[in-house]
Amino acid sequence: MRTIDLRKKGEGCTDHPVVRLSKLLSSIERGESVKIIVFKEDIPAKALQLFLKSRGFRVLDLKDREGEVEAQVLKP
């Protein structure tokens, strides 16, 4: 399973985790499962879940840990 770690931040607004995630989601193949890790302050758990569902992904597992959110998702 591939991991998308969005905890590293860049300088510009195009490096924001939401923008980076949006770009990376298009590279995921049908039937592929990936793990996404992000800081809660950048994308709260509920917002991440809604964002992924709106892009057609199924959220298999969502862990809201102290400071971080980890989601396992599937592109059906």
The DSSP letter of residue 43 is S
User: Domain residue spans in the chain?
Assistant: 2-74
Q: What is the pLDDT of residue 69?
A: 98
Spatial contact of 75 and 29, defined as CB atoms under 8 Å apart: yes
The sheet with strand 58-65 has its strands ordered as 2-5, 33-39, 68-74, 58-65
Give the pLDDT score at 9: 76
Contact 17, 6 (CB under 8 A): yes
Q: Which pLDDT value is given to residue 16? A: 87
Contact predicate 65/49, CB 8 Å: no
Among 3.40.50.12280, 3.40.47.10, 3.40.50.150, 3.30.110.40, name the CATH number for the domain at 2-74: 3.30.110.40
Q: What is the pLDDT of residue 54?
A: 96
pLDDT along the chain (76 residues), means of 10: 90 83 94 97 96 97 96 97
